[in-house]
Amino acid sequence: DTGVSQDPRHKITKRGQNVTFRCDPISEHNRLYWYRQTLGQGPEFLTYFQNEAQLEKSRLLSDRFSAERPKGSFSTLEIQRTEQGDSAMYLCASSFRQGNEKLFFGSGTQLSVL
Amino acid sequence: RKEVEQDPGPFNVPEGATVAFNCTYSNSASQSFFWYRQDCRKEPKLLMSVYSSGNEDGRFTAQLNRASQYISLLIRDSKLSDSATYLCAVIPGFQKLVFGTGTRLLVSP
């Protein structure tokens, strides 16, 4: 499968715990995005990378969220001290910058904070 | 005002009907526009890009109206399999894609 891969598919955690998600983009794509989606809403931008550089981070993103893309390939998204409001689908997408960006999404990680 | 706005629906239509959705955007400098399809509990999948001249892909037609700052999606001869949420997405002058809340379509027999 040469699409965007995310792991795990589902994560259940208790409030206050830390969680980490992984995303493997399409291999030739140099841009990687993280979005969050809750029921009835569209995907909400969190952050994105071009190669290993984090170029933008949403102002809505609290300091408990951090993302890395250490070698410009896979990326991790960590949420520290999870809260019930963090429950959502976390979507990763990648694209190859060509001036008219088309994002390709992974299947997402569904996070439930109890 | 939200950057991208859509009517959440649902739009309930019978098989074979023609249905159209609109999506408005607030940033007049926006350059790139897309429609994505999302099935329940699945990831969004690119349906089509929207070009200034309008474009068509089979039963689907997308249009851009820069003067009124909206894009539209027309689906002809609706199929049961078209039932999904249709997300409008715009790059509003910056580097990230901004999505609307989506419009839910239900096609019934």
3-class SS of residue B49:
strand
Q: A43 — contact with chain B (CB < 8 Å)?
A: yes
Q: What is the DSSP letter of A86?
A: G
Number of other CB atoms surrounding residue A107 within 10 Å: 17
Q: Which two tokens stand for residue A46?
A: 């969190």
CA-nearest of B52, B45, B46, B56 to B69 is B52
Q: Which two tokens stand for residue A44?
A: 């909400």
> Does B96 contact A33 at a Cβ distance shorter than 8 Å?
yes
Q: Residues A55, A17, A51, CA angle at the centre, nearest 5°? A: 20
pLDDT tier, A110 (very low <50, low <70, confident <90, very high otherwise): very high
The CA distance from A98 to A113, in Å, is 38
Instruction: Provide the pLDDT for residue A46.
Output: 95
Q: Which two tokens stand for residue B57?
A: 């892909």
Q: What is the CA radius of gyration of chain A?
A: 13
Closest A-chain CA to B4: A42
The CA distance from B42 to A108, in Å, is 8
> Does B43 contact A45 at a Cβ distance shorter than 8 Å?
no
The CA distance from B96 to B87, in Å, is 15
pLDDT tens profile A24-43 = 999 888 899 999 999 999 99
pLDDT tier, A102 (very low <50, low <70, confident <90, very high otherwise): confident
Looking up tokens 């790139």 gives B32
Reported as half-sphere exposure (CB side, CA atoms, 13 A), residue B54 has a value of 8
**Which of A13-17, A50-54, B35-39, B58-62 shows the lowest mean pLDDT across its residues?**
A50-54
Contacts with B44 from chain A: Cβ below 8 Å = 43, 91, 105
Residue A98 above 70 pLDDT?
A: no
